[in-house]
Each structure stands twice: as structure tokens, then as C-alpha cells.
């Protein structure tokens, strides 16, 4: 066990909004922070906010944020006590967690064996199967040949998913709808998995056509205590990556919520898990749920859980890593209101959400009741090509779902970003859709309802002309040129004019 008093300094092995978010909680706890950054991120807000900074390499992730040896060396040289990996990069790398511990540092996350077991989707499926948790039909181990893939496909039926056993973020996933496509898609999935995670193991499972994607947030300490913090609805996605998340789900019943929460803590307990983690499920129209995978880290969408439970998940992570007991028990945790998160990404929703680079010419955040912005950029900064397209997370809280939606729309209207296209417009469009407002949506929401033309707008010159014309008309109206006489009778007026002639 580690005594929290030894945490004088934490190295944050990440960048952007999540690095800044971790540093803020650490500062509130009286812990100083060390930022490691790439050459491309030298001017980023998280570097300016940290108590110390150290450049660890070039812009490419492989030369900086994925360089575990350099990160550990920086932590030792600059006298950090612990390393927080955030999400992405090295956050689910069991070898890195083991290296950190071997260097006498504390890894703020689960143990290396837990990451190895639950961070690998096949190992997690095995653990869930042994606990009797429902699983999507598929292989129980990594595919060893095309022949095995064909046999599994024939057994469970088309369509199927080929999925990377390691990693996440929608990478290494391929949908196969035709038997003729299996060989090519298998080869592509293996290649993508190898490039993204350094592990080419893939497996195959049944593709459930229109499920809801619901995940349960869990926390566990090193004393064997585990709690769940209810669910997040994450069904609005593109390229298997989430865009809008909310808590609680407007479709789960109290009974299904309780059952899924128990399954989540049972799975975590089976791996001796401690720290923050998320158990992901697919849920059908009958509220039948199937274990999907576990994410052994903090999630991008954790703020919605914080807003409806009142807990700071980063502070809980730090306390757990320091050997403290959880600050709450299950009976202490209640849902308060409703929260929705929109990921603001540097992507063009009119071009299939194509990632963009460029300069933030204007960047002004929204404010007001119930609004939270977790971001990592400032006006004038460049969006580099090397990293994920996420700029910020806009989160709205309300006493109920309707208020949360209205606050989100208001905040989107106030959020000013120019210089690059973003997902802001898509977010407002989604909030106003009947399917979203009624909670009747699934993972095919974009496929079913979204057309790029919905966000089409006139070119800047046309907009300027329209605006000037509007001002001119208003001026003329104020002068009275377009006013009708009160109680005017046009027919009698014409008649009177003819009579005067």
C-alpha cells in the first residue's frame, strides 16, 4: 500500500483537455504537476498550467506520448512520485504500468495484471463467461486462420464484426456483411490492430444491428471495495467512436440498472480490479444486455457521471492509487438530475466527419448555469495533425433531461469557433431531432437520420449580402416606407382614385 502523503508531484502522461482536467484536480488536492509534452504541444494550455514541464520528443506520438521509457525517465529525474496516464496513449498498456511500478513510481490506474486481463477483450470475455454474464456470440480466443473465421461466421450467421483484442477507440473493427468480403476485412483488421496497438490478435463476434451502447462506471479501491456509479448512454457514434453521451439512460428501468451495475462490479471483482474503469454493454429493444468489453482507465465521457453523482473521479483515482479507501459506499451514491456531453471535434460533419487541421481563429467558450467545458486549446493555436481530433467536451446539466437538452442547445449557440469545421453544428442538429428528444435512438442514429445537407449553409458572401439586405429593410421599415395604412381598404382606395380622374 502507498501512503497518500508521499504524492507530492504527479507526472501527467497525456495532453490536451484530459491533461488539464487531471492537473486541476491534483492542484485542488495540494499536489504539484509535471507536464510532459511534444514539440507540437509546446504552447498548449496544459503545459502553461502545470507546475513544471518537460519536452520529451517530436510531434509524432511514437516519439513522445507513446515513449514509456522517456516518460519514466522524466518522472525520476524531476522527482515525481506517480504517473497518471489519462486515457488513450499508454493508459491501457500493462507493460507500461509494470515498468512504472518497477521504477518505484505509482501508476494511477489498475494493476498491470488487471489491465492485461481486462484490457484484452478476449480475456475479459472469458472472465464474463465464467461469471455467467451474457455475451454476444463469437469466438472465445484469437482467430488463428481464415478457415476458423469462416467456420465461426457460418455458425453465428452474417453480419459479423472482426475486432482487435487489444486497445479501443474504434480501431481494428470491421463489419462483414458478405461472406465474399471476409478475407479482405480480416486482413485489414489485423493490419490496423498491429499498427494501432502493436498486437495483431483479432476475434469475431455477431454484429447486433441496432443496439444501444450503455456503459457502467465503476470504482474500486485496494481494500476490495467496489461500487458502480450508474450508467452512461453512448449510442450516438461515428466510426464506432462516441459523439454524444448522457447519464442516466432514459430507457433503462430501475431493475435493469441494478442488474447491469451488479454485473459490472462482479466482472471487476473477478480481476482484482482497483481504480476507475468502465464495463460496456450492448442492449437490445427488450433490455437484454450483452457484455462488450472493459475499459481499464478513465473515459472521455466521465464528466456526465461526475455531474449526476457529485464525485470527482480523478480525485478518487488519486486517492485509490495512494492506498486510501473509497470515499463512498454504494448506498451513498444517488443520481441527481441529467447530464449530456457533446464531443467538439475538429471534424467536418458535411464530409463524413473527416478530421481537420488548421488554426483556431476565434475560440470563445459558453458559460452560464449548468454548463461545463473541458478543453485543451485557446484562440490562435494550431490543431496538429499528429493526434486525435478532440478539441473539447461541452457538458450540460439540468434538473431533468429536457432542461439539459435546452441548456446544451443554448451553450452550442454561444460557443464560437472559427478557422476549422467542428461537430458543434451536428450537436445542435442532433439535440433537435425527434428521435433524440424522445430517447428513441440506437447506434445507427447517424445512419438513420443524418444527412450532410442538414448542416449546409450559404457561402460567406451570400450570408453577408443577406445580412446587409436585412439591415436595409429594417431601416426602411423604421422610416415607414413599408407600412400599410391602418384599416386600409385597397379596393376602395383604387375606386376613389378612379373617381377623382
Residue 429, preceding peptide bond in cis (omega within 30° of 0): no
H or E element at residue 376: none
CA distance 111 to 290: 26
Evaluate whether 349 touches 424 at the Cβ level (below 8 Å): no
Q: How many CB atoms lie within 10 A of CB 207?
A: 18
C-alpha cell at 493: 382606395
Sequence-distant (6+) residues with CB within 8 A of 328 are 227, 311
Which positions ≥6 away from 486 have C-beta within 8 Å?
Answer: none
Catalytically annotated residue among 297, 319, 343, 407 = 297
Integer angstrom CA distances of residue 138 from 172, 211, 298, 493: 16, 17, 27, 82
Contact 464/457 with Cβ under 8 angstroms? no
DSSP per-residue codes, 60-105? SGGGTTT-HHHHHHHHHHTT-SEEE--SSTTTT-HHHHHHHHHTTP
Return the ∠ at Cα 359 (arms to 303 and 405), rounded to 5°. 30
Q: Where are the alpha helices (H) located in 395-459, listed in sequence order?
A: 401-414, 424-431, 434-437, 445-449
Contact yes or no for 399/407 (Cβ under 8 A)? no
Instruction: Note if 239 is an active site residue.
Output: no
- Residues with catalytic function: 297
Amino acid at each position: 500500500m502507498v501512503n497518500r502523503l508521499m504524492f507530492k508531484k504527479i507526472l501527467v502522461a497525456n495532453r490536451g483537455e484530459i491533461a488539464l482536467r487531471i492537473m486541476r484536480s491534483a492542484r485542488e488536492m495540494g499536489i504539484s504537476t509535471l507536464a510532459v509534452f511534444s514539440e507540437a504541444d509546446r504552447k498548449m494550455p496544459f503545459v502553461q498550467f502545470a507546475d513544471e514541464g518537460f519536452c520529451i520528443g517530436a510531434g509524432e506520438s511514437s516519439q513522445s506520448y507513446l515513449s514509456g521509457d522517456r516518460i519514466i525517465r522524466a518522472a525520476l529525474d524531476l522527482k515525481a512520485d506517480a504517473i497518471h496516464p489519462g486515457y488513450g496513449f499508454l493508459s491501457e498498456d500493462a507493460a507500461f504500468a509494470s515498468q512504472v511500478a518497477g521504477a518505484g513510481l505509482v501508476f494511477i490506474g489498475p494493476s498491470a495484471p488487471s489491465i492485461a486481463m481486462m484490457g484484452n477483450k478476449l480475456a475479459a470475455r472469458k472472465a464474463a463467461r465464467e461469471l455467467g454474464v451474457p455475451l454476444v456470440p463469437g469466438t472465445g480466443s484469437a482467430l488463428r486462420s481464415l478457415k476458423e473465421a469462416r467456420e465461426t461466421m457460418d455458425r453465428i450467421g452474417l453480419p459479423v464484426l472482426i475486432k482487435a483484442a487489444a486497445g479501443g477507440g474504434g480501431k481494428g473493427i470491421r463489419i462483414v456483411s458478405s461472406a465474399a468480403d471476409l478475407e479482405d476485412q480480416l486482413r485489414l483488421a489485423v493490419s490496423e490492430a498491429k499498427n494501432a496497438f502493436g498486437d495483431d490478435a483479432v476475434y469475431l463476434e455477431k454484429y447486433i444491428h441496432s443496439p444501444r451502447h450503455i456503459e457502467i462506471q465503476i470504482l474500486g479501491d485496494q481494500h476490495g471495495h467496489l461500487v458502480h456509479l450508474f450508467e452512461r448512454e453512448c449510442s450516438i457514434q461515428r466510426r464506432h467512436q462516441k459523439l454524444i453521451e448522457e447519464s442516466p439512460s432514459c430507457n433503462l428501468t430501475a431493475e435493469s440498472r441494478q442488474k447491469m451495475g451488479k454485473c459490472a462490479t462482479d466482472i471487476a471483482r473477478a480481476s482484482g480490479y482497483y481504480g476507475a474503469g468502465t464495463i460496456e454493454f450492448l442492449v437490445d429493444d427488450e433490455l437484454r444486455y450483452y457484455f462488450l468489453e472493459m475499459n481499464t482507465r478513465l473515459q472521455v465521457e466521465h464528466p456526465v457521471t461526475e455531474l449526476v453523482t457529485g464525485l470527482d473521479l480523478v480525485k478518487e483515482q488519486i486517492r485509490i492509487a495512494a492506498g486510501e479507501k473509497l470515499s463512498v459506499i454504494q448506498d451513498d451514491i444517488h443520481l441527481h438530475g441529467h447530464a449530456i456531453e457533446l464531443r467538439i471535434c475538429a471534424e467536418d460533419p458535411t464530409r463524413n466527419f473527416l478530421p481537420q487541421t488548421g488554426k483556431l481563429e476565434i475560440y470563445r467558450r459558453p458559460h452560464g448555469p449548468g454548463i461545463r467545458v473541458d478543453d485543451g486549446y485557446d484562440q490562435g493555436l494550431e490543431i496538429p495533425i499528429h493526434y486525435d481530433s478532440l478539441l473539447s467536451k461541452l457538458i450540460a446539466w439540468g434538473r431533468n433531461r429536457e432542461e439539459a437538452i435546452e441548456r446544451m442547445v443554448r451553450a452550442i449557440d454561444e460557443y464560437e469557433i472559427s478557422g476549422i469545421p467542428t461537430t458543434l453544428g451536428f450537436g445542435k442538429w442532433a439535440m433537435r431531432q425527434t428521435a433524440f428528444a424522445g430517447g428513441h435512438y440506437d447506434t445507427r442514429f447517424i445512419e438513420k437520420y443524418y444527412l450532410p445537407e442538414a448542416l449546409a449553409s450559404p457561402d460567406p458572401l451570400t450570408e453577408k449580402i443577406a445580412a446587409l439586405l436585412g439591415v436595409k429593410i429594417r431601416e426602411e421599415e423604421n422610416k415607414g416606407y413599408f407600412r400599410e395604412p391602418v384599416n386600409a381598404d385597397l379596393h376602395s382606395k383604387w375606386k376613389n382614385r378612379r373617381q377623382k380622374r
